[in-house]
Structure 1
Amino acid sequence: MSTTAEPASLHQRILSDISEKILSGVWAPGHRIPFEHELTAQYNCSRMTVNKALSQLAKAGLIERRRRSGSFVRQPHSQAAILEIHDIRTEVEATGLPYHFERISRLKRRSSTEDRQLLGLDAAGPVLAVECRHFAGKRPFCQERRLINLTAVPEAEEEEFLKISPNPWLVGHVPWNAAEHRIRAMAADEDVASALDIAAGSPCLVVERRTWNAERPVTQVRFVYAAESHELVARFAPSQG
């Protein structure tokens, strides 16, 4: 009885130990998992027990097994629907990693020519520029740069965006009736590379969005993701015309 129960408990222990290190961010994407013979010695169990645990972790999408190279923590891969407005928290938590964000900067100013072009404003007025970084575990997930039209959302002037990020705050305070997405690729410049902790020149996915309330521009935002960790999905039906 005991000889059959022990491998099962060790299997669960190996699963739990490795999963915890990955989901907590202790083992970052790309980290090499100890080789099977190392885990066999560490847990004093059979190689079959270790192999079974690693296979289950690979099936769950937490690790990637490479022939002759070993097993590595897999880069979390997120999806976002381009026809919907998603909160970044939802995108991150869908990967199984814990979410948090940090506000980098917040500046109220009179709109520049570039601001007015981005927001689609006809005349100068007060805007709020906010920059944030969103994290999946301990790794940067997305850079956010946002302009808020304070004429349309005057109460945003009092919000510091330290405990709540701009997107869920705006959704909760300002109804929108139109949105526009623009999607493009870019090579990471020094600013983006530093924000996302990637090499300069790395491919990135850029999602730019504008929203309106009763024909009045509310906000313009640019999200930048490392291309290898994010994809956009659209589901649609054929025209009935």
Structure 2
Amino acid sequence: MDLGTTVAEGASDLSLHQRILGDIEERILSGEWQPGFRIPFEVDLAEHYKCSRMTVNKALTQLAKTGLIERRRKSGSYVTQPRAQSAVLEIRDIKLEVQSLGLTYEYKLIEKVKRRSNADDRSRLSLETAAPVLEVLCTHFAANRPFCVEERLINLSAVPDAAEESFEDVAPGPWLLNRVPWSAAEHTIRAVSADAQIATALGIAAGTACLVVERRTWSNGAYVTHVRLIYPGDRHALVANFTPSQPK
């Protein structure tokens, strides 16, 4: 199967792993490879990119984690079919979320730290090696009352401009949405008890139940950011939309 030319301008600066990710992602998102399309076999991709099958396997595994492809044992990898009965969670600007409630919005930066990634950072951003990251901690307010605490980790290899942004006047979420077109996102929702730091930031008692939405966004073959949005459990709800599955 003809894979076409894979080396785009600037691609020489990318690792083979990133090139493979970016090339396959681009073909899927552009519609060139439609849902149900079988991805070329690992051996064919390895020959095309002149790399090991292990490199190809790691790239395909990462694409499967983002939901763009589905890996089937003994059959191969396929572009994911739309899932009609999956929950839909939009990436929304918290400012607009607060204003939609008819409340005034405020934002406060608590901390911004540029550093070398540690093991936890690499797990959150799926980084294979140590790389520079930016950690941002901030609080969003609704009618002068804490609405949400945001703990965000930004991959500076993917968004180097973030290192120079102060985030004093604009929250990192809308800043990223305006600069990096994300192609896939992963949500995790869980309940936690507020520790002392979160309790202070949200103005609640330590141990209070909180709702945590964790999200990773993906673009151009890499995770751009991982964010934890922490809400007081009695002040926030998530709504998911479903449609009936179509009979086969």
Give the TM bin, normalised by the shorter chain.
0.5 to 0.7
Give the aligned residue type for 2:136: V
Please point out which of 184, 187, 190 is paired with 2:193: 187
The answer for the alignment partner of 1:156 in structure 2 is 162
The answer for the alignment partner of 1:18 in structure 2 is none
Does the Cα contact within 8 Å between 1:102 and 1:162 map onto a contact in 2? Answer: yes
Q: CA deviation at 1:82?
A: 5.3
Please point out which of 205, 211, 231 is paired with 1:205: 211
- Distance in 1, matches of 2:235 and 2:222, equals 34
Residues 106-121 of structure 1 mapped to structure 2, 5 A cutoff: 106-121=112-127
Instruction: Please say if 1:177 is aligned against 2:183.
Output: yes
Residues 185 and 198 (structure 1), Cα distance of their counterparts in 2 relative to 1, 3 Å cut: same
Structure with the larger helix share: 1
Give the aligned residue type for 1:116: R
- Distance in 2, matches of 1:158 and 1:207, equals 27
Instruction: Please say if 1:137 is aligned against 2:164.
Output: no
- Distance in 1, matches of 2:181 and 2:129, equals 22
Please point out which of 157, 167, 171 is paired with 1:165: 171
**SS of 1:228 mapped into structure 2:** coil
**SS of 1:89 mapped into structure 2:** helix
- Distance in 1, matches of 2:116 and 2:123, equals 13
Residues 21-100 of structure 1 mapped to structure 2, 5 A cutoff: 83-100=89-106
Larger radius of gyration: 1
Q: Give CA-to-partner distance per residue, 1:57-106, whole Å, 9 cap, x none.
A: xxxxxxxxxxxxxxxxxxxxxxxx95210011011112111001000000
Q: Unaligned stretches of 5+ in structure 2?
A: 1-86
Give the aligned residue type for 2:112: R
- Distance in 1, matches of 2:240 and 2:219, equals 24
Q: CA deviation at 1:123?
A: 1.3
Does the Cα contact within 8 Å between 1:82 and 1:181 map onto a contact in 2? Answer: no
The answer for the alignment partner of 2:153 in structure 1 is 147
The answer for the alignment partner of 1:50 in structure 2 is none
Aligned length, in residue pairs: 161
Does the Cα contact within 8 Å between 1:127 and 1:150 map onto a contact in 2? Answer: yes
The answer for the alignment partner of 1:103 in structure 2 is 109
Structure with the larger strand share: 1
